[in-house]
Structure 1
Amino acid sequence: MIFRTLSLLRSLQGAHHTAQDARARIQQACDYRWLKGQLAHGMIGAREARLNDGTPAVSVVLPFVATPERRRGGRWPEDPAEREDCFVEGTHACRAAGAPGYRTLESLSQGLAQGGMAILKDAARFQYLIEREALRLTWRRLESLAPDLARQLGRHLTTRDSERHGLFLLEIRLPAAASDVALNGDWLDRCLDRYRRILPKPAG
């Protein structure tokens, strides 16, 4: 186990990453895998959104009941009106929604399970979402939801927990048209890879 862990770290370090970078890449890959697993429960939000670089996008919304355990993951105000004005972005948005945060040994174990190249690829996809400020978590009372979103949420609105605690909505803005969206992990890979390839490479 230790030998395989060191081999994994060396393979990532060989790609010009330090040991600390390697652990961060593994966490990013795990976060991306978590997003892929949640995507099937998502629904279309804004059909004409944009990324921070102006790229046309569509938003996919993932709903989660805002249980007290989830709310303890951040400093959410007690007053509902104030809480609706708050949001969390990036990696913190995933963590607040319930994505697991791995400690060092756990992250290395995850890395061993996924393999070095798979880690780098999924971490790059997640990094693209971070750089484009494409991940945002908000809290909403059921009565505050837009009618179209409320209609799509359907079954999530019928539970006592959602009525009592409200919903966390994790929005993912993706460079695609609403008509092209397929809520599964393979489509997410293709969507991000296509747009990452057409971006200009950083100088140097």
Structure 2
Amino acid sequence: MIFRTLSLLRSLQGAQHSVTDAQARIQQACDYRWLRGQLVHGIIGEHETRLADGTPATSVVVPFVATPERRRGGRWPDDPAERERCFVEGAHACRAAGAPGYRKLESLSQGVAQGGMSVLKDAARLKYLVDQQALRLTWRRVEALPPDLARKLGRRLAVAGSERHGLFLLDVRLPASPREVSLNGDWLDHCLDRYRRILSPPHVRPS
């Protein structure tokens, strides 16, 4: 285990040069793998939307009952009307919705379990979503949901505690048309990798 941990750190530090950055990569990978597993519970939301770079995208909405434990993952106001005006974006949106955060030793053990190359791939996929401003978490009262969204959520609204606590809605904007979307982790990997490859690398001026 020690040798595997050192090997993982060397592979991650080759790109980032510090243990802190390596841990951050592992956390990004863990966040992505959590999101990958949650996609199966999503519904296709708003059809006409775009990513930060203007790429046409489809919104997938993943609902969660906003239990007190989940609400502690963010600084949500006590007043419901004020809470509905708030949102959390980026990787923080995953954490506020319930993705686990890891301390130093825990993150290293997670990284060892996943393997260095897997960590780098999954971290890059999450970074793409964060850079494209594609992750946003909001809180909604069940009775205040738009009728179209409530219809699509259907039986998910009957989950115990949803009326009492409200719902967290994690909006994930993905670079695909609605007819292409398949709500599973393998499709998510393929979709993000395809669009990450066609992005132009940032222009670096010679020094």
TM-score of the superposed pair, with normalisation by structure 2: 0.95
Distance, in Å, in 2 between the alignment partners of 1:120 and 1:76 is 32
Mean alpha-carbon deviation: is it higher for 144-153 or for 177-186?
144-153
Q: Which residue of 2 aligns with 1:30?
A: 30
Distance, in Å, in 2 between the alignment partners of 1:134 and 1:156 is 23
Q: Over residues 153-190 of structure 1, what are the superposed CA-to-partner deviations in whole Å (9 max), with x where a residue is unaligned? A: 11221134000010000000011101100000111011
Mean alpha-carbon deviation: is it higher for 8-17 or for 98-107?
8-17
DSSP 3-state at the match of 2:15: coil
Q: Which residue of 1 aligns with 2:74?
A: 74
Displacement of 1:203: 2.2
Q: Which residue of 2 aligns with 1:59?
A: 59
TM-score of the superposed pair, with normalisation by structure 1: 0.96
Q: Which residue of 2 aligns with 1:92?
A: 92
Displacement of 1:25: 0.7
Residue identity in the other structure for 1:69? E
Q: Which residue of 1 aligns with 2:115?
A: 115
Q: Which residue of 1 aligns with 2:15?
A: 15
Displacement of 1:79: 1.2
Residue identity in the other structure for 1:106? E
Q: Which residue of 2 aligns with 1:145?
A: 145
Indicate whether 1:126 and 2:126 are aligned. Answer: yes
Q: Structure 1 regions of 5+ residues with no counterpart? A: none
Q: Structure 2 regions of 5+ residues with no counterpart? A: none
Distance 1:6 1:167, change over 3 A: same
Q: Which residue of 2 aligns with 1:203?
A: 203
Q: What root-mean-square deviation, in Å, do the aligned CA atoms of Structure 1 and Structure 2 show? A: 1.1
Mean alpha-carbon deviation: is it higher for 94-103 or for 138-147?
138-147
Matches within 5 A, 1:164-203: 164-203=164-203
Displacement of 1:6: 1.4
Q: Over residues 35-66 of structure 1, what are the superposed CA-to-partner deviations in whole Å (9 max), with x where a residue is unaligned? A: 01000000011111111111110110110000
Distance, in Å, in 1 between the alignment partners of 2:197 and 2:73 is 35
Count of matched residue pairs: 204
Distance, in Å, in 2 between the alignment partners of 1:109 and 1:16 is 19
